[in-house]
Amino acid sequence: MSGYSDTDVFINAINNGIITYYIAKPWVNEEIVKIIYNALETKNEQTVLEKALIHLLKDNNKWEDLISKAKLVRRKDLLNRIIHDQMIVSQDVIEEARNLDLILDASLFCSLLVLSNNSASTDNHLRTNFVDPLLKDEIIAHICLAPNCLAWDCGGMIGVLHQVDTDGNEELIFKEVSSINDTLDNYYPDLEVTIGVSKINTGPDSVKNSYHQAQTSLVAAKLQDGPVHGIYYFHDVGVLQLLTAINKQVIANDFVKDNLEKLIQYDYAKGTEFVNTLQELLRYDNLKETAANLFIHPKTLVFRRNRIEEILGVSLNNYETKLNLGIAIKLYNISKHS
């Protein structure tokens, strides 16, 4: 204001948020017009925000719902960044997580839920992304009602962190996961659920380790015969723990190529299923039982076995050969389902 030099006027105005821009003489008319328009636009934006805030404050449920959804989004982002190695779990991150009800350095285990509608599952393969996003959000909110359970959206799956005491055991894991499975079965009977479950982990990397163990359990579910729906525990996975860990390494691809590539290429070129036949031969190690499982005559199986040995240049009577081929088939199947 021209003619006033009292600095208290300016200080009070600034502290009270009244001043948006300071103009000194002399000014350019075009610039001052532009500044006034910007000030009016800022004032309009503030008015809109104030009205929205007043509306929310009148309805506490809407306000709380907005805060709750914002927390879920922040929690999902934090967890997904941790499990995909996009964030180091430092002390600052641990403190940030506590504000989101996450205790990252506590004892916990993870379960991963794959959901599909009954009508969508027309085969024995694990199907994902067949659930409406709104229904997924509803299920996540439902799971979060259970004590010590925090659920989040991790792509085609729902992740659940179960925070437990340090003396937690496998019986506790079974009880908690079975409870979630039963709840989903009761409230959402049209859904088919497959759950991969980790073991209990502790320390800053407990979330990441638990997630990958639960993911390995789901890989085991994909590799089994028959319907995949049900609960799969990491402690039952066996050698797949090691095979899944090395699956993404070059050495795994080389191992499959060295031991199985000729048979894979033969199947592709001739339309045969010799890789599957070999897998069944190694699984049962009994011609009659294998033939019955493949629904073929034993003589046909003998022919296939001889042909497989010719293509690969090996003898299926050799223990080391059978071991190598069994591992190669496991790695090959994991790569197809990863």
Q: At 112, give phi and psi (nearest 5°).
A: -115, 125
Report yes or no: 132 and 188 within 8 Å, Cβ to Cβ: no
pLDDT in tens, 8-47: 776 777 666 667 677 777 778 888 888 887 777 777 666 6
Contacts of 299 (CB under 8 A, 6+ apart): none
CA distance 58 to 285: 73
Residue 320 CA to its chain's centroid (Å)? 37
The answer regarding whether domain 246-337 maps to CATH 1.10.10.10 reads no
3-state secondary structure of 239: coil
Superfamily of segment(s) 76-238 = Reverse transcriptase/Diguanylate cyclase domain (3.30.70.270)
**Count of CB atoms within 10 A of residue 198's CB?**
26
**Count of CB atoms within 10 A of residue 171's CB?**
8
What is the model's pTM? 0.59
pLDDT in tens, 52-108: 556 555 555 544 554 566 777 887 888 888 888 777 778 888 888 888 777 877 788
